[in-house]
Amino acid sequence: MEAINNLLGGSAVPDVLFYVFAALTLLCGVLVIANPFSRNPVTSAMFLVLTIISMAGLFVLLHAFFLAAVQILVYAGAVIVLFLFVIMLLDLKEEERRKIKFFGLVAGLISVGGIAAIFFKSLSAVHPAGDSAGPSLEGETYALGKLLFTEYTLPFEIVSVLLLVAMIGVILLSKKNLE
Amino acid sequence: MHVGLEHYLAVSFLLFSLGLLGVILRRNLLVIYMSLELMLNAANLALVSFSRFNNKLDGQVLVFFIITVAAAEVAVGLALIVALHRKRQSAHVEDLTSMKL
């Protein structure tokens, strides 16, 4: 922890690291959805792991250490394993190259353009409150846990119920004959 | 140039657009699901950077909940895909046309 703080304390190193991790995240993100070499879902899943790990690096740069750990544990550990397990279970053949529909492409570009418009419009209005003193927040487990169990107790309990519901739903769905 | 909130938001925006394009353009249900995960992660990144630059921890708590909900969502969604594959022997959106007008 001390070493990371010392490393992040300087100004030049985190900036370089940000560009490295951001480029890695975006590159692997592109390769998840459009890999020119392979249409296999397994490759997409592998690049999703890389995206998530480099995003955990971004979280560390944002001093959200606990969330970086959770990100790797939950996503790279559980979610991707689930994906790979389902790919194995379904025994998917390599997806043949289908022609991208013109309508789909236009719809996608229009929606991305809309989001871009909102993004650039709202970017000028962004003035972080902690700008004057510089960010000083530490995403420590202690502070996060304290907030989680005082202010956010009700959502925490509701999420536990949600997990139970999801678990029961998955067990029901994966029964051989759905009644 | 010093890395600020805008940089993180730009990365988040680009990642979200990538996920959206993947959802719209890809035809494989599993890859569509992975694109959904990309979009959720983009939202997470935006929330963490907001939390960092506003000196408030609430954004990180929200990200915590989002990760939990995303995990539950993946479990249910993949179970649905498996059930669908059992019935139709396909994981392609173009083969699922029973709700087409």
Between vectors from CA A156 to CA A153 and to CA A162, what angle results, nearest 5°?
A: 145
Which range (A40-54, A87-101, B66-80) has the least confidence?
A87-101
Instruction: Identify the burial level of A155 via C-beta atoms within 10 angstroms of its C-beta, where 0-12 means exposed, 13-18 middle and 19 or more buried.
Output: middle
Check: complex ipTM more than 0.85: yes
Show Cβ contacts of residue A63 under 8 Å, excluding neighbours closer than 6 positions: A8, A135, A137, A138, A139, B52
| Residue A162, domain extent | 140-179
Residue from B44, B60, B86 to probe the interface with A (highest A Cβ count within 10 Å):
B60
φ, ψ of residue B54 to 5 degrees: the values are -105, 5
**Residue A160, in any domain of the structure:** yes
Average pLDDT across chain B, whole number: 88
Compare all CA atoms of chain A with the CA of B78 and give the residue at the minimum distance. Answer: A86
Q: With bands split at pLDDT 50, 70 and 90, how would you rate the model's confidence at A11? A: low
**Residue A111, in any domain of the structure:** no
**Residue A49, in any domain of the structure:** yes
Q: With bands split at pLDDT 50, 70 and 90, how would you rate the model's confidence at A131? A: low
**Residue A136: what pLDDT?**
66
Domain boundaries, chain B: 5-93
**Is the confidence at residue B81, as pLDDT, over 60?**
yes
Contact yes or no for A80/A51 (Cβ under 8 A): no
Q: With bands split at pLDDT 50, 70 and 90, how would you rate the model's confidence at B100? A: confident
Q: How far apart are CA A57 and CA B33, in angstroms?
A: 23
What kind of architecture, by CATH, is found in domain B5-93?
A: Orthogonal Bundle (1.10)
**Is the confidence at residue A98, as pLDDT, over 80?**
no
Q: With bands split at pLDDT 50, 70 and 90, how would you rate the model's confidence at A141? A: confident
Residues A66 and A9 reside in one and the same domain: yes
The whole-number average pLDDT for the span A76-104 is: 80
Find, among B64, B75, B12, the residue nearest to B39 by Cα. Answer: B12
**Residue A11, in any domain of the structure:** yes
Listed ranges A12-21, A101-110, A149-158; the one with the highest mean pLDDT: A149-158
**Is the confidence at residue A129, as pLDDT, over 60?**
no
Q: Which of B31, B38, B76 sits opposite A29 (nearest CB)?
A: B38
**Is the confidence at residue A133, as pLDDT, over 60?**
no
**Is the confidence at residue A40, as pLDDT, over 90?**
no
Tokens of B22: 């993947």
Residues of A in contact with B84 (CB under 8 A): none
Q: With bands split at pLDDT 50, 70 and 90, how would you rate the model's confidence at A28? A: very high
DSSP state of B92: B
Tokens of B30: 């599993």
C-alpha distance from B14 to closest chain A C-alpha (Å): 7
Q: How far apart are CA A91 and CA A40, in angstroms?
A: 11
Tokens of A89: 């279970």
**Residue A107, in any domain of the structure:** no
Number of domains in chain A: 2
Compare all CA atoms of chain B with the CA of A12 and give the residue at the minimum distance. Answer: B2
DSSP tally for chain A: helices H, then strands E: 8, 0
For residue B4, give the 3-state DSSP assignment. Answer: coil
Contact check, Cβ <8 Å, A64/B31: no
Residues A30 and A89 reside in one and the same domain: yes
Compare all CA atoms of chain A with the CA of B2 and give the residue at the minimum distance. Answer: A15
**Residue A6: what pLDDT?**
61
**Residue A46, in any domain of the structure:** yes
**Residue A152: what pLDDT?**
92
**Residue A3: what pLDDT?**
61
| A85-108 b/e (C-beta count within 10 Å ≥ 16 → b) | ebbeebebeebeeeeeeeeeeeeb
**Residue A90, in any domain of the structure:** yes
Domain boundary residue among A96, A122, A151? A96
| A20-39 b/e (C-beta count within 10 Å ≥ 16 → b) | ebbebbbebbbbbbbeeeeb
